[in-house]
Amino acid sequence: MDSVAFEDVAVNFTQEEWALLGPSQKSLYRNVMQETIRNLDCIEVIHVKLKMIVNVEKLLARFQIVL
């Protein structure tokens, strides 16, 4: 699985583009970007937990421990 970075999913506006957005569009942008950050955080937590599970399973198999 390839890693996903914030830069891969972020939408970046130039100052000129940002100035053209209305207040509701800026608010929507902030909300979407906050949700994106939360989703990426969740994916990272899941990825770390899966890696831990695999490592524990390898350790259990190495020492022939059956749960």
pLDDT surpassing 70 at residue 65: no
Q: Where are the domains of the chain?
A: 4-62
Residue 53 tokens read as 């599970």
Residue 61 tokens read as 């198999």
No. of H helices and E strands in the chain? 3, 0
Note whether 21 and 13 are within 8 A (CB).
yes
For residue 41, the model assigns a pLDDT of 82
- Angle CA 53–57–44, to nearest 5: 15
HSE at residue 25, side-chain half, CA atoms within 13 A, is 8
Give the tens place of pLDDT for each residue, 20-49. 999 999 989 888 888 888 888 888 777 777
